[in-house]
Amino acid sequence: MKRLLVLFITLAILAASFPPQAVAAQASCGRTYTVQKGDYLSKIARQCGVTTTALLQANPSISDWNLIYPGQVLNIPQPGDPLPSTVTGGSTYIVQPGDTLSRIARRFSVTVEAIQKANPSITNPNRIYSGQRIVLPSGAAQVPTVSITPVSGKAGSTITLAAVGFRPNIEVQILFGADENASEVIGTFSTDARGALLRSINVPSSAAADKSYVFVVRSTQNTSERAVSNPFSTGKSSQPSGTQTYVVQRGDYLRLIAAKFDTSVAAILIANPSITNPNRIDVGQRLSIPAGKKDAVVAVTPLSGAAGSQVYVVAGGFPANQNVDLELGLEGQSASVIVDGRTDSSGYVLKLMTIPSGARAGERWTARVRTTDLAAGTSAVSGVFTVK
């Protein structure tokens, strides 16, 4: 009897030591989750005990990891759930500079209408931007394709590589070099159940300045199953110096203009301090476009206002798909306001933040954005917001 009692107590202690955390976390979210202030997808995925990929698959209307908002209702995948019909035959494609929906549709032997149906967030087929993620519809041709973003930088830069159209669950190598005969091995990975691969990788240290390189993805079992990426440039010599003037056209918005000139929204805002809302520009408005501004930069707009004012904090040129802290604080002092964020596949993030109501007239505030998970972190500070 005494032995049975000891055994029972031991089993009870062991059970308490290993609680079913993942199951409990998922159960606490239920079938849906309402986005709260400060949420981002990877944070919600961890909280609900699912992967970010599964969360994206369950919510195909999300075309940009960074574009979720408080009050938005997300579907939370449950064990055994089938994939949504919009993604069972497709995968994710990253829009490249110069891409149009019709060009993407032709490449994958589908219609523009089918792509729009699989991506409800695309309400205007003429408005897509470099770095945007598009879900390929069911029935898309299995064409091995590799795309990278951003398309310029230097050795050590972080890029997002997306490969689609490969066979499911196979081992592939990512290679780096000057042309399709690339031989420098970056790593060996596996495609998912849809024949896709999505990775954040670093440009090798062997990359020299003023050169063009490509990334090659190939099967380790069948080397003829391969695809070559769009070019990655490490040079600045071909980029114009100074700034140029651009007149806003109908259908333009800042992200589209930034992609067109290979710069960032934050860099455009810094060059155009009269823009007080990055979501509002006017047809016929003249913008100064900075050349070659792909380094990490942070803009705050507007540049002045009363205590309690809301300001837009915009970061560009940061590593893609990384968690970041966005901070507000007195110039040269530690942060007073900190919110979580996440860069998208083009290294962009935007947050609406509030200058504390206790700020005094004449105070100078700045915004700082910094990565939180990278060993070699990236950080940048904005210009000054002056309290009136």
Q: What is the pLDDT of residues 209-258, one digit of tens each?
A: 888 899 999 999 988 889 888 888 886 533 445 678 888 888 888 988 88
Mean pLDDT along residues 148-157: 83
What tokens does 53 get?
A: 């990929």
Mean pLDDT of 85-98: 58
Is 317 within a domain? yes
* Non-local CB neighbours of 46 within 8 Å, separated by 6+ positions: 25
pLDDT higher than 70, residue 186:
yes
Task: Say whether both 145 and 48 belong to one domain.
Answer: no
Distances in Å between the Cα of 219 and the Cα atoms of 77, 108, 166, 168, 302 are 31, 20, 8, 11, 50
Task: Indicate the DSSP class of residue 152.
Answer: B
The Cα–Cα gap between 277 and 300 comes to: 10
Instruction: Indicate whether 8 pLDDT > 70.
Output: no
Looking at the domain assignment, is residue 228 inside a domain?
yes
How long, in residues, is the chain? 388
Q: What total number of domains does the chain contain?
A: 3
Residue 103 sits in the same domain as residue 190: yes
CA pair distance 96, 84, nearest whole angstrom: 26
Tell me, what CATH number does 61's domain have?
3.10.350.10
3-class state of residue 112 by DSSP: helix
- CA quadruple 271, 98, 295, 208: dihedral positive or negative? negative
* Residue 174 located in a structural domain: yes
Do residue 247 and residue 366 come from a single domain?
yes
Task: Write out pLDDT tens, residues 300-322.
Answer: 999 999 999 999 999 998 888 78
The whole-number pLDDT of residue 63 equals 52
Classify burial at 240, counting beta carbons within 10 Å of its beta carbon; exposed 0-12, middle 13-18, buried 19 or more: exposed
Residues 270 and 213 in one domain: no
Report the distance separating Cα 45 and Cα 19, nearest Å. Answer: 19
Residue 180 has pLDDT above 80, yes or no: yes
Both 227 and 249 in one domain: the answer is no
Do 269 and 341 belong to one domain? Answer: yes
Q: Residues 202, 101: one domain?
A: yes
Domain CATH number, residue 206: 2.60.40.230
Spatial distance between the Cα atoms of 113 and 111, rounded to a whole number of angstroms? 5
Sign of dihedral through CA atoms 260, 266, 270, 272? Answer: positive
The answer as to whether 238 is a domain residue is no
Whether residues 259 and 333 share a domain: the answer is yes
Residues 78/29, Cβ–Cβ less than 8 Å: no
Domain boundary pick from 7, 40, 75: 75
Residues 200 and 169 in one domain: yes
Task: Give the pLDDT confidence score for residue 194 in this predicted structure.
Answer: 78
Among the listed residues 291, 294, 159, the one whose alpha carbon sits nearest the alpha carbon of residue 213: 159
pLDDT grade for 259, boundaries at 50, 70 and 90? confident
Residue 84 falls within a domain, yes or no? no
Question: Is pLDDT larger for residue 194 or for residue 240?
Answer: 194
Q: Find the domain containing 334 and state its range.
A: 243-387
Query: What would the mean pLDDT of 314-336 be, rounded to a whole number?
Result: 89
Which of helix, strand or coil describes residue 70?
Answer: coil
Helix axis angle, 21-29 relative to 41-48, nearest 10°? 120
Whether 331 maps to a domain, the answer reads yes
Q: 97 with 229: CB under 8 angstroms?
A: no
Q: Cα–Cα–Cα angle for 85, 91, 96, nearest 5°? A: 135
Which of 75, 110, 125 is the last residue in one of the domains?
A: 75
Q: How far is it, in rounded angstroms, from Cα 98 to Cα 38? A: 33
Q: Is 4 domain-assigned?
A: no
The residue among 258 and 375 whose pLDDT is bigger is: 258
139 and 166 assigned to the same domain: yes
Identify the pLDDT of residue 26: 41
Task: Please answer whether residues 295 and 378 qualify as being in contact, where contact means their C-beta atoms are separated by less than 8 angstroms.
Answer: no
Q: For residue 263, which of 234, 302, 282, 290 has the smallest C-alpha distance?
A: 290
Q: Is 217 exposed, middle or buried (0-12, 13-18, 19+ CB in 10 A)?
A: buried
Domain assignment of residue 2, yes or no = no
Highest-confidence segment of 60-74, 244-258, 324-338:
324-338
Mean pLDDT of all residues in 268-282: 91
228 lies in the same domain as 250: no
Residue range 107-124: average pLDDT? 85
Do residues 377 and 370 make contact, with C-beta atoms less than 8 angstroms apart? yes
For residue 124, the tally of other CB atoms under 10 A from its CB is: 9
Same-domain pairing of 228 and 258: no
pLDDT at 17: 38
What is the side-by-side strand order in the sheet with 145-149? 145-149, 158-164, 197-202
Q: Which of 215, 233, 251 is the last residue of a domain?
A: 233
Q: How far apart are CA 252 and CA 248, in angstroms?
A: 6
Q: Which residues of 90-119 are buried (b: 16+ CB within 10 A; e: fewer)?
A: bbbbbbbeebebeebbebbebebebbbbbb
